[in-house]
Structure 1
Amino acid sequence: MIHIVTPENQHLFRDEMEQAYRLRHRVFVDEMKWTDLAREDGREIDQFDNAHAVHMLYIADGQVLGYQRMLPSTRPHLLSDVLPQLCEGERPVGPHIWEWTRYCVAPGHRERGRALSPVANALLSGIVEWGLASGISTIIIEMNPLWLLRLVQLYFRTTPLGLPQKVGDEDVLAVTASFDRRTLLRLQEMRGNNLRVLAEPEPTVRRLAG
């Protein structure tokens, strides 16, 4: 299940958030060699892990197997403050537009070939479920250009914001990706069920008692 963590309930997910920060460090620093993000404590945290961030965690048996972060486009985010060169025109801004960042899946739970892994499908489905319920219809993504075709196949309507540019050792492209009910149906079709992936919020008393 995908659990949404915000400042209001983050105290209920202290252990899971620690796992998430360490997963981020393992993926982005150890694997992808984004050495600027390295920290001695092995936790990848940046200036956008603030009161406005929405964290989404895939948790199974107490283990965080996948993670992603959503940032409002109306506040400072990667495209506005770190990678503005990726946007050649007017930067997309609005309450219905959020930025998708720090997507990562634990080794052993990633896709092989073209099919999305169950964790990856759930993370993407979580964005769409959350967005449809929250009046959000578009995400900003800074990504490898090879992801373009995959997003289109998942029924995201993608629009490049500029040409790919080198960021570190990788080509990175900024896009907007809009979604609707058809996107969710497509993701459900691919995983073979229409069950909700977002976990229902747990009562605070019950969570603390556990």
Structure 2
Amino acid sequence: MIHVITSANSAQNTDLMEQAFRLRHRIFVEEMGWSAVAREDRREIDEFDDEHAVHLLAVEEDDVVGYSRLLPTTRPYVLSTHLPQLCKGTPPADPGLVEWSRIGVADSARTSGRRLNPTALAILTAIVEWGLPRGLHGFVSEMPTSWLLRLLQLHIHAMPLGLPQRIDDVEIVAVRAGFDAQSLRRLHAMRGTTASVLAPARGGIIRLAS
């Protein structure tokens, strides 16, 4: 299940968030070599992990096995603050758009082959399932160029915001992606079920901070 954690329920989910920050450190610092965000406590946390962040945690038997973060684009976010060179123009600012970043899956939940990883698919489904009722219609993200086709196959309407650039030896492109009810139906079809991926909220009503 995907747990959605914001400032409204973070106090009830400190154990899961501790796992999430340590998972981020393993993926982004230890595996991907992001030395600039390394910390001695082995928790990967940055300036955007504040009251405006929405954390999506894939949890299996109380273990966090996947993670990503949503940030409102009406405030400073990763693309607009640190990677504006990936955009041909001004990075988007739209209350219906969030930034999807820090996308990672634990080694124990990774799969091989051409099919989308089930944990990553569940997280993407959660964005659409959770976002549509809250007025979201899309996201911006910085991702490997190889992901573009996969998004289109999932009926996520992705368009580059600029030309790809090599960052840490990976060709990265900034995209603006739109989703709707058709996207959710396609995601359900890919998962083989219409059952919700969202776990029941623990500790309060979860809203998108603005």
TM above 0.5? yes
Q: Tell me the equivalent position of 1:207.
A: none
Report if the CA contact (8 A) 1:21-1:44 is conserved.
Answer: yes
Letter in 1 for 2:183: T
Q: How does 1:149-168 map to 2 (within 5 A)?
A: 149-168=149-168
Q: Tell me the equivalent position of 1:8.
A: 8
Q: Tell me the equivalent position of 2:30.
A: 30
Report if the CA contact (8 A) 1:110-1:120 is conserved.
Answer: no
Letter in 2 for 1:28: F
Letter in 2 for 1:201: A
Q: Tell me the equivalent position of 1:177.
A: 177
Report if the CA contact (8 A) 2:145-2:171 is conserved.
Answer: yes
CA RMSD of aligned residues (A): 1.2
Letter in 2 for 1:75: R
Q: Deviations 1:92-144 (Å, cap 9, x if unpaired)?
A: 11100110010111112123222122211110100000111110011001011
SS of 2:43's equivalent in the other structure is: coil
Quote the Cα distance in structure 2 between the aligned partners of 1:114 and 1:182. 23
Unaligned runs of at least 5 residues, structure 1:
205-210
TM-score (norm 1): 0.94
Matched, 1:147 2:126: no
Quote the Cα distance in structure 2 between the aligned partners of 1:142 and 1:203. 31
CA-CA distance at 1:190 after TM superposition: 1.1
Quote the Cα distance in structure 2 between the aligned partners of 1:107 and 1:130. 26
CA-CA distance at 1:203 after TM superposition: 5.4
Q: How does 1:1-210 map to 2 (within 5 A)?
A: 1-202=1-202
Unaligned runs of at least 5 residues, structure 2:
205-210
Quote the Cα distance in structure 1 between the aligned partners of 2:56 and 2:133. 15
Report if the CA contact (8 A) 2:143-2:173 is conserved.
Answer: yes
TM-score (norm 2): 0.94
Report if the CA contact (8 A) 2:16-2:64 is conserved.
Answer: yes
Query: Share of identical aligned residues, percent?
Result: 51
Quote the Cα distance in structure 1 between the aligned partners of 2:52 and 2:158. 25
Report if the CA contact (8 A) 2:65-2:108 is conserved.
Answer: no
Change (3 A) 1:14 1:203: closer
SS of 2:107's equivalent in the other structure is: coil
How many pairs align? 204
SS of 1:108's equivalent in the other structure is: helix
Quote the Cα distance in structure 1 between the aligned partners of 2:99 and 2:203. 29
Q: Deviations 1:175-210 (Å, cap 9, x if unpaired)?
A: 001011111111111111110111121357xxxxxx
Report if the CA contact (8 A) 1:111-1:120 is conserved.
Answer: no
SS of 2:7's equivalent in the other structure is: coil
